[in-house]
Structure 1
């Protein structure tokens, strides 16, 4: 009998079969993910490198003008309006982020309780999230309007505002910032609520039952069970919220146009105006990369801070 022919007719061993199946599964998975990767590379990764190329040129809406080297980056660093806009974005983050964590967390606790009608409450709390920024902004422009606006009228009926007093919510810097924060919290808290609700529902009920049997009250269960168990979820929500708040643009542009004056002009709005109003796309792109690095470093510091705090 031919030894080589006999060897070829031997069944494939289990190890080789597993390797072939593994290779097949990997190729199949790659085939499924390939369309997304092509889309991601084409519309996310390549524009980043193209934008970096643009940032080193004097570039207008008509196209490339001339090579600028680091001139755009130097100009951005010396531009007082650039730093003012960055401060406005930071100020908005400081105002909005605590509320965008606390309000959704309270609402998540509420809809996670045994309260009747909690499904309806979830729908009501999340409903503003599905509205577009244009719809939300125009609704609130009417609500905050002086001389008959819903908000001022409600404050008068509650006795908080005197009958002969009128608040111009969108025309005074401090009130304008309060208005933008109110609009943002009302509009976007639904997403954070759902994420935090998912985290709450992952906590085993046995922990609360054992703590109740040991005599722990509601505040003690919240402090020693809920908050430690939610630490990872709160970290992710905080980091994502800080990034989202720094990128605020739509509601500010539609409600105040960065006014009064330029007191509420944020970083994204200034980049937009530099690129499309001043026709300086190269400079606007350089500002965008500065802003990108700023957010990258800030996110890294947040993760390091929370990780170190957790280790302590």
Structure 2
């Protein structure tokens, strides 16, 4: 084949690749790239939710955010929630995956039961757990009465409210990471376990030297997904406690929502959204860096 023919063939291949890539590129630019830069532009303005008042103020929104005590309170609440849920969710999902992995009708039923909660909407989940944790007529009240203790107002307690929301989130969200771990476990060659059995290796030794190293990339994936997801907590806190008591459960996304749709300060809310983006990006990059160091 001549050089000109080879060049023409490469151009045709490149053109075909661009044609197939174009629909995705258009959708990606429309729904991700453009909104990102549009949000950055809005964050530099005093921008109302309704009306035409839009005044350029530069970095004033970011300066206000830096000195906003409620903003830093919600950041602390969000970090506390992430610390409660991400490691626990990952460990619990791995334990459940190890417990129900394999053949058998009972294990199949248990896999369905554990995954079932993840298909519920946040409104259904919060309604169920509000009924469970209510101090007036909750499902735990008869248990407290049985042991002669006054019912605990979990959702109104300054210390117990956030752990209660974390427990609700664990029950709701453990299904997906468990399914990811099950998929990873199914890809481990059975010959490795057979060799370990011949060497009379114990369960802990098998878990440490075979199972965990084989699924380390899935563990990293689950951690990253959980970090990104739990930083965006909104529905549970908004529906179960409305941010109370005394702002102990008000999260960053909830504060952004209230600032934008209640106070109509869209510019300031967008600036806080970029603060949340930087937090998520920083923790995700840290997790990926630690994962690469583990691979090395």
The aligned runs of 1:81-100 (5 Å cut-off) are: 81-100=70-89
Are 2:259 and 2:268, in contact at CA under 8 Å, matched by a contact in 1? yes
* 1:38 corresponds to which of 26, 41, 52: 26
Aligned length, in residue pairs: 295
Q: After superposing the two structures, state which structure 1 stretch, 105-114 or 122-131, moved more.
A: 105-114
Please, which of 101, 114, 123 is the counterpart of residue 112 of structure 1?
A: 101
Asked whether 1:53 is paired with 2:38, we answer no
Question: Are residue 303 (structure 1) and residue 292 (structure 2) matched?
Answer: no
The residue number in structure 2 matching 1:274 is 259
CA distance in structure 2 between the partners assigned to 1:79 and 1:258 by the alignment: 17
Does residue 283 in structure 1 map to residue 272 in structure 2?
no
259-268 or 27-36, which deviates more: 27-36
Number of the residue aligned with 1:244: 229
Query: 1:170 is paired with a residue of what secondary structure?
Result: helix
1:182 counterpart = 2:167: yes
Kept after mapping to 2: 8 A contact 1:252/1:264 = yes
What's the secondary structure of 1:117's corresponding residue?
helix
Q: Go from structure 1 to structure 2 and tell me whether the alpha carbon gap of 1:155 and 1:31 turns closer, same or farther (over 3 Å shift).
A: farther
Deviation at 1:139, TM superposition (A): 1.4
Contact 1:57 1:64 in 2 (8 A): no
Where do residues 1-312 of structure 1 align in structure 2 (5 Å cutoff)?
16=5, 20=9, 27-28=15-16, 30-61=18-49, 62-154=51-143, 162-311=147-296
Distance 1:127 1:23, change over 3 A: farther
What is the TM-score normalised by the length of structure 2? 0.92
CA separation of 1:264 and 1:42: change in aligned 2, threshold 3 A: same
The whole-number CA distance in structure 2 between the counterparts of 1:113 and 1:34 is: 43
Instruction: Give the conservation status (yes or no) of the 8 Å contact 2:131–2:137.
Output: no
Question: Moved runs in structure 1, 4+ residues, more than 6 A?
Answer: none
Distance (Å, rounded) in 1 between the aligned partners of 2:176 and 2:221: 13
Ranges in structure 2 where 5+ consecutive residues have no aligned partner: none
**Following the alignment from structure 1 to structure 2, what is the Cα–Cα distance between the partners of residues 116 and 155?**
36
Matches of 1:155 and 1:231, distance apart in 2? 42
Question: What is the match of residue 8 of structure 1?
Answer: none
Tell me the distance in 2 between the aligned counterparts of 1:180 and 1:302: 24
- Deviation (angstroms), 1:303: 1.6
Task: State the shift of 1:36 in Å.
Answer: 3.4
CA-CA distance at 1:261 after TM superposition: 1.9
Report if aligned partners of 2:227, 2:283 keep a CA contact under 8 Å in 1. no
**Which 5+ residue runs of structure 1 have no aligned equivalent?**
1-11
The TM-score normalised by the length of structure 1 is: 0.87
2:98 and 2:273 map into 1 onto residues whose CA distance is: 38
From the superposition, tell whether residues 75 and 104 of structure 1 become closer, same or farther in structure 2 (CA, over 3 Å): same
Q: Distance in 2 between matches of 1:90 and 1:250?
A: 16
Which deviates the most, 22-31 or 59-68?
22-31
